[in-house]
Amino acid sequence: MIPMEQCKSARANAEHLAALLRSALRRAGIPDDEAGKVRPLVTATGRAYVQFGALPLRDAVKLLEALARNQPTPHGADVLTLSDEAFG
């Protein structure tokens, strides 16, 4: 078992990062009900995580596009293309 202060600190860090990620997802056009799936998680050993959950394919593509806008594309890099059938 870990000390309570360490657990609280890990939880606060995970909560802060989860909030930042939810905000970034919303800015990328992900609806609140999907962005809200991002949750902080702290294990019994005190390890902090952000649980991301599953996104519908359309929202995952929005996230990928938002990430790509912030990254230079290397010459010859693969570009994601999906057919309309992929979205159901």
Query: CB atoms < 10 A from the CB of 59, how many?
Result: 19
- Show the domain range for 69: 4-87
* pLDDT tens sequence across 1-38: 788 998 899 999 999 999 999 999 999 899 999 999 99
Sign of CA dihedral 32, 68, 57, 47: negative
Sign of CA dihedral 19, 22, 24, 26: negative
* pLDDT tens sequence across 31-82: 999 999 999 999 988 899 999 889 899 998 998 888 888 766 555 555 555 5
**Structurally, how many domains does the chain consist of?**
1
At residue 86, the pLDDT reads 46
Q: How far apart are CA 52 and CA 37, in angstroms?
A: 7
